[in-house]
Amino acid sequence: MSASKPRPSTGHPGARGSAGFTLLEALIAIVILALSLSALLQLYSTGLRGIATIDDNLRARLLAQSVMAEVSYDRRLQPGRLQGRLDQFAWTLSIAPFDDGEPASQQPNAWTLHRLVLTVSWPQGRRIELQTLRMLQTR
């Protein structure tokens, strides 16, 4: 008669304690996941703020170009200031004779060069400025 020897199980090597994750491994994985998600949410938030800033800047530039185009066709503008508002944006247009170092013409209805400076500002303390030169008829 032969005595049979117990055979080691071939299905699960070291079956005790290695069948799954330990509680510590699961907690570490959850902490790493939480930190990763936190960093991703901060990046997402920063990206949204950046997009909002770019959008405001674009809208302010479009407003400035529109106002400048509108007043460019009026050759009867007088030196001084014009102001206006659209949504959150406030704009100011300053019109002054261009100082090129030569005496200004004193003739009535003479055409003279003027500097137009348009400033658009909005609540976050941001502002943009456009400048151009135009020939305007003095009165």
Q: Write the CATH number for 111.
A: 3.30.1300
Residue 4 resides in a domain: no
Is residue 33 in a domain? yes
**DSSP 8-state secondary structure symbol assigned to residue 125:** T
Sheet holding 89-97, edge to edge: 80-86, 89-97, 111-122, 126-137
DSSP-H helix ranges across the chain:
23-72
Residue 50 forms part of a structural domain: yes
Q: What is the spatial distance between Cα 75 and Cα 78, in angstroms, rounded to a whole number?
A: 9
Assigned domain for 52 exists:
yes
- Note whether 112 and 105 are within 8 A (CB): yes
The model's pTM is 0.62
Residues in the chain: 139
88 belongs to a structural domain: yes
Nearest by Cα to 73 from 6, 10, 3, 135: 135
Number of domains composing the chain: 1
103 falls within a domain: yes
pLDDT in tens, the chain (139 residues): 555 665 555 555 555 556 777 888 889 999 999 999 998 988 888 888 889 888 889 999 999 999 988 887 776 778 889 999 988 999 999 998 888 776 666 666 678 888 999 999 998 788 999 998 888 876 6
